[in-house]
Chain A
Amino acid sequence: EPEVTQTPSHQVTQMGQEVILRCVPISNHLYFYWYRQILGQKVEFLVSFYNNEISEKSEIFDDQFSVERPDGSNFTLKIRSTKLEDSAMYFCAIRVGEQYFGPGTRLTVT
C-alpha cells in the first residue's frame, strides 16, 4: 500500500494568517487530491491535481486556496488568509487504483 505522509500533524494559526500544508507521497505519483473534514462532518473534496495541473476543484476551493507541487515530490495546499471556518482536518490522497489517504493535518484557526 502506497505510503503518504503529511506535515505538520497539527497546525494552529491565527485568523488571517497564511498556512501551507504539505503532503509527501513516498514514491512518484500523478494523481493528487486534497479533502477536508470539519469536526463531526463528512469528508469533502477540495481539489484534484493531475500532471501538475488542477483537474477539478469544488466550490470550497476558492481564491484563498492554492495547490502546487514545487519540487516534484511535495504536494502543498496553501490557504492565504485563514478564517475560523477553515478549522478542519485536511487530508491528502494519491490514486493508485483506489485512493490512499495520508494521516491528515488538523488545522485550528483561532
Chain B
Amino acid sequence: SQQGEEDPQALSIQEGENATMNCSYKTSINNLQWYRQNSGRGLVHLILIRSNEREKHSGRLRVTLDTSKKSSSLLITASRAADTASYFCATDADRDDKIIFGKGTRLHILP
C-alpha cells in the first residue's frame, strides 16, 4: 500500500536553524501533502505538491518531490519556537481516494 514514512522520527534544533524532514512512500501518487499537528490538536494543511512538480515554496517552507525515488522533503527555514509540532506527510493516488499518512516527525525547536 502507498505509505508515507517520515525520517527522522524526532528532531531537536536550535531556534533560527533550518529543519529538514524527509518522507518516503511506496506507490505512484497524484500528490503529496505535508501537515502540521500541535500536540493533541488538529491537522493543519501546510502545502501540497503535485506529482508533476519538483519543488514548491510557501513562506518559510520549501517542499521537494522526487518521484523517481518516491521521496519528499520539507524544509523549514529560520525555525521558531512556534514551529514545535509533529509534521506528517500524506499521499493520495486517486482524486477521491483516501490519504495515507506517515508516522510523522516530532520537531522540537530549542530556545
Q: Which positions in A face B, CB cutoff 8 Å?
A: 1, 31, 33, 35, 39, 41-45, 48, 50, 55-56, 58, 89, 91, 93, 95, 97-104, 106
> Looking at A1, A43, A55, A89, which has the most chain B CB atoms within 10 Å of its CB?
A43
Q: How far is the CA of A1 from the CA of B42 in the complex (A)?
A: 15
Least CB distance, B22 to chain A, in whole angstroms: 16
Q: Which residue of B lies closest to A49 (CB)?
A: B96
Interface-side segment among B12-20, B69-77, B98-106: B98-106
Q: How far is the CA of A103 from the CA of B98 in the complex (A)?
A: 18
Least CB distance, A38 to chain B, in whole angstroms: 12
- For residues 17 through 57 of chain B, which have their beta carbon under 8 Å from a beta carbon of chain A? 31, 33, 35, 40-43, 45, 48
Q: Which positions in B face A, CB cutoff 8 Å?
A: 31, 33, 35, 40-43, 45, 48, 88, 90, 92, 96-104
A-B contact count (CB 8 A): 55
Q: How far is the CA of A109 from the CA of B97 in the complex (A)?
A: 30
Query: CB within 8 A of A42: which of B31, B42, B88, B96?
Result: B88
> Are A98 and B33 neighbours in the complex by a CB distance under 8 Å?
yes
> Are B45 and A101 neighbours in the complex by a CB distance under 8 Å?
yes
> Are B101 and A50 neighbours in the complex by a CB distance under 8 Å?
no
> Are B42 and A101 neighbours in the complex by a CB distance under 8 Å?
yes
Take A98-B48, A104-B42 as given contacts and tell me if A42 and B97 are in contact as well, using a CB distance cutoff of 8 Å.
no
